[in-house]
Amino acid sequence: MKMTGGAIVVRALADEGIRFAFGIPGTHNIELYDAFGDSDRIRPVLVTDEQSAGFMADGLWRASGELGCVNIVPGAGLTHALSGIAEAYMDGVPMLVLGCGIRRRTTHSYQLHDVDQLAIAAPVVKATFRPETGAQLYPVLREACALARSGTPGPVMVEVSIDLYLTRHEVEPEAWGPAPAPAIPGASREEIARATALLSAPGIKPLLYAGLGAQGATAELLALAERLEAPVATTIQGKGVFPESHPLFLWNGFGAAAPPFARDVAAGRNLTLAIGCRFSEVGTGSYGFTPPGPLIHVDINGEVLHRNFPAELGIVAEARGFLTQLLDELSGRNDPRAAAAPDPELRRRIREGHDAVRKDWIELRSVDRVTPFVLLDALQKEFGPGAIFTADSGNGTFLAMECLRLERPGRFLAPVDYSCMGYSVPAAIGAGLGKPEAPVIALAGDGAFLMTGLELLTAANQQVPVAVFVLRDRELAQIAQFQTTAFNRAVASRLPDYHLGSIAEAVGVEWLALDSDAEVVEVVRAARATMQAGRPVLVDVAIDYSNKTWFTRGVVKTMLHRLPWPERIRFVGRAIGRRLTGG
Ligand SMILES: Cc1ncc(C[n+]2csc(CCOP(=O)(O)OP(=O)(O)O)c2C)c(N)n1
Ligand SMILES: [Mg+2]
């Protein structure tokens, strides 16, 4: 039968379960948009800037596991979208990047938007495809989606030329189906036996360290932690993979960027089992720890093993399958190993450590503005355990990481390894579309908000009732804090002031001011009421950043220690000199 290119693409997307295509139409893909108009399965979501298209598809997947499509015009659409695509690439988030190509059946040169798109996208996607015929469209799109979801997930780009959209093609839909799923790697019997032997050797006190790759394995991770009586730390991305109310939950990290109790507990362990993580710079607080060795490192992607820390045993395996096998082996009928007894001393240190951290935050309350912990605690209490938080690149990410206690993965969405400012508002909209039943709260820095805050217009237009809390310190604090510590001055990191309420009014969104701790509960409740009525809301928070996070304090120290001695002396000397002279 004959089908248009647009109809074939829409059919492939729908068969992949894709419900949302984020982007802005252009002359090259209006045929596709017309086909969207005929579809009741795919909603094209109009964004204000294509970088948000990537962040929305990212938030959609992280919150709900649903694949999103970034749908962009050639050249300018792609270059705007690259930030969101690159964030997804570095953070392991799958998405279909549906690029549109210029005419190929022409002898003309210097066409509109004519750049080598696949070359531009190649470093930030897992693969690129350029179907040549209409018949290739459907199978190529299905293959691209399968690849995006497999292994370490990530974006995959397919460029569809306008030629294919403008014409009809002879195709056989009866022959269409999903692409073969790539094999899921698992551990061999020998690898499981070696891991078991290392873990159950006499005197071994393991530390478990879990990343986003372990997000489908919470139950197994819990069973293993209890069986080994091992404390569990997670990466930043992995926040919530292990329930954070559990007595064995340590921290999101365990090195110099963690509070003293977490550092001490980790230092007392003598083996690390790391699952579904890759020891990235941000996750490790700038490589601010060495995993207590020996290290058993398990990841679905063999390339991450032995990269930052050599492993005694590196295993290429999907987390849940690995943990199931390991638990079977530990409790095997032939050679059952005794489960470790609960360690009251360990649990006491962890409990008292968390209590002390909490006490500090409460005691260091702001006198005239909003204390971060007071706000985050109130948000958790008012919105309950189903709430989804998005964070941005900035101080807010680390405050949220340290103050929120989450029981499940998919509740803390943050741009970590690419760390791109502008993530939180569009990611919240993506999350809200994927999980309409969950309250979604964006924690945006006042610098980051300037980049993508206008997407509140999209939230209003799409009727996604997100709450955006803008943390107003009138600084690029994450950088200004580094600058004032190291240089005793902050250059180009003070923000010019702007009136947030006017922006809210301009895009037709309600707004609230939150000026002090005393108002926190009342304002959070008012924001919640607006969301429950189906409308987005913006909150202007006079945040007090005077207490630095454990993360920032740790990273400043670690970075200093990574410098060669003469440079260290220069840095410290300059900071002291400027403090003494007031310069
Ligand atoms: C696109 C982009 N530009 C610059 C940076 C560098 N950077 C990291 S955090 C930060 C400060 C963010 O300021 P703001 O949004 O106000 O958050 P705050 O730290 O003040 O909470 C900057 C400039 C970045 N990560 N991403
Ligand atoms: Mg700021």
Pocket test for ligand 1, best of 369, 421, 449, 541 (most atoms within 8 A of CB): 421
Mutate to test the pocket of ligand 1, among 87, 393, 546 (most ligand atoms within 8 A of CB): 393
Burial letters for 337-368: b for 16+ Cβ neighbours within 10 Å, e otherwise? eeeeeebeebeebbeebbeebeeebeeeebee
Closest ligand to the CA of 391: 1
Predicted pLDDT at 62: 98
DSSP letters spanning 225-271: HHHHT--EEE-STTTTSS-TTSTTB--S--STTS-HHHHHHHHT--E
Ligand 1 near 417 CB (within 6 A): no
Find out whether 549 and 399 touch, Cβ atoms under 8 Å: yes
84 lines ligand 1 (CB under 6 A): no
Q: Residue 98: CB within 6 Å of ligand 1?
A: no
More confident: 339 or 142: 142
* Residue minimizing CA distance to atom 20 of ligand 1: 477
Amino acid at residue number 457: L
Q: If you take atom 9 of ligand 1, which residue's CA is the nearest one?
A: 394
Closest residue CA from atom 17 of ligand 1: 445
> What residues have a C-beta under 5 A from ligand 2, the ion?
445-447, 473, 475, 477
Ligand 1 atom closest to Cα of residue 415: 25
Judged against a pLDDT cut of 80, whether residue 570 lies above it is answered with: yes
Measured in angstroms, how far is the CA atom of residue 420 from the centroid of ligand 1? 8
Residues 6+ apart with CB under 8 A from 42: 10, 13, 14, 18, 19, 20, 21, 36
Mean pLDDT of 226-247: 97
Point out the ligand 1 atom lying closest to the alpha carbon of residue 476: 13
289 has a pLDDT exceeding 70: yes
Instruction: Report the pLDDT value the prediction gives residue 335, as an integer from 0 to 100.
Output: 62
Which ligand is the nearest neighbour of the Cα of 479? 1
Q: Is the pLDDT of residue 579 over 90?
A: no
Query: Residue 144: which H helix or E strand, with range?
Result: helix 134-149
**Which atom number of ligand 1 is nearest to the Cα of residue 451?**
1
- Per-residue pLDDT tens for 100-142? 988 888 888 888 878 899 999 999 999 999 999 999 999 999 9
The residue whose CA has the least distance to atom 23 of ligand 1 is 476
Rounded average pLDDT over 441-462: 98
Long-range CB contacts (< 8 A, 24+ apart) of 350-358?
350/231, 350/247, 350/248, 350/249, 350/250, 350/261, 350/265, 351/247, 352/261, 353/259, 353/260, 353/261, 353/262, 353/265, 354/261, 356/259, 356/261, 357/259, 357/261, 357/402, 357/550
Question: 5: pLDDT confidence band, cut at 50, 70 and 90?
Answer: very high
Q: Is there an atom of ligand 1 within 6 Å of 479 CB?
A: yes
Ligand 1 atom with the smallest distance to the CA of 83 is 1
| Ligand 1 in reach of 471 Cβ (< 6 A) | yes
Of all residues in the chain, the percent with pLDDT exceeding 90 is 87
Report CA(210)–ligand 2 centroid distance (Å).
30
pLDDT at 539: 98
Residue 45 pLDDT > 90: yes
The residue length of the chain stands at 583
Residue 430 Cα to ligand 1 middle (Å) = 21
Whether 385 shows a pLDDT value over 80: the answer reads yes
Segment 545-562 mean pLDDT: 90
Closest residue CA from atom 16 of ligand 1: 447
Q: 561 pLDDT exceeds 90?
A: no
Average pLDDT over residues 174-187: 94
Average pLDDT, the chain: 95
Q: Give the pLDDT score at 518.
A: 97
How sure is the predictor about 333, in pLDDT bands with cuts at 50, 70 and 90?
low
pLDDT over 80 (residue 196): yes
Instruction: Answer whether 575 contacts ligand 1 (Cβ < 6 A).
Output: no
- Phi, psi torsion values for 129, nearest 5 degrees: -130, 145
Distance 381 CA to ligand 1 centre (A): 28
What's the gap in Å between 453 CA and the centre of ligand 1?
14
pLDDT at 559: 87
Judged by average pLDDT, the poorest of 134-143, 505-514, 560-569 is 560-569
C-beta of 452 in contact with ligand 1 (< 6 A): no
Mean pLDDT of 296-307: 97
Question: Full-prediction pTM beyond 0.85?
Answer: yes
pLDDT of residue 334: 59
pLDDT: is 15 or 488 the higher one? Answer: 15
Residue 336 has pLDDT above 70, yes or no: no
Report which protein residue has its CA nearest ligand 1's atom 3: 421
- Reply yes or no on whether the pLDDT at 223 is more than 90: yes
Check if 549 has its Cβ closer than 6 Å to any atom of ligand 1. Answer: no
The per-residue pLDDT for 566 is 86
Residue 415, ligand 1, Cβ within 6 A: no
Structure tokens at 114: 């004519």
Closest ligand (CA of 393): 1
Confidence of residue 529 (pLDDT cuts 50, 70, 90): very high
What per-residue confidence (pLDDT) applies to 557?
A: 87
Which pLDDT tens digit goes with each residue over 349-370? Answer: 999 999 999 999 999 899 999 9
